[in-house]
Amino acid sequence: MNNELQLLSDYVRKETSHSGEIDADEDLLASGILDSFNIVSLALFAQEQFGVEFEAEELVRENLAKLSNLVALIRRKRAEGASRS
């Protein structure tokens, strides 16, 4: 989880110029670090970086607003991919 979290945190800092620590369970929309535009950019970054493909239905606040939830989704998608292949 740490490696994924680190990459996602770094991306959020770069995208938003947020300089502070990012807690994995922090709601980044509620805290104003992310908005409805860069949350989509974050999902795109996660797709490319971790080689997964999200369904449109998965692009919701519950999965994207907290990095811990996004990491869980990435892992679930990877596991699904691995079980199919």
Partner 1 sequence: MLRKIAGPFREFGFFAGTLYIVDRLLRGVSPGLGLFVYEFMVQPISDKPLLPANFARGLAFREIRRGDPEIALMPARPEIKESRFDQGAVCLGAFKNDTPIGYIWFCFNTYEEDEVRCTYQLVNPAESVFDFDLFVFPEHRMGIGFMAVWHGANRFLRDRGVLYSFSRLTRFNLASRRAHDHLGWKRLASAIFLKIWNVELMLATIFPFISLSFGPSRRVRLLFRPDVLQSTE
Please give the structure tokens belonging to residue 34.
């992310």
Using rule CB under 8 A, residue 9 touches partner 1? no
Torsion angle of the four alpha carbons 76, 77, 79, 82, in this order, in degrees rounded to the nearest 10: 180
Torsion angle of the four alpha carbons 41, 42, 48, 54, in this order, in degrees rounded to the nearest 10: -100
Size of the site for partner 1 (CB under 8 A): 20
Using rule CB under 8 A, residue 69 touches partner 1? no
Q: Which is nearer to partner 1, 21 or 57 (CB)?
A: 57
- Site of interaction with partner 1 (CB under 8 A): 29, 35-40, 43-44, 47, 53-57, 59-61, 64-65
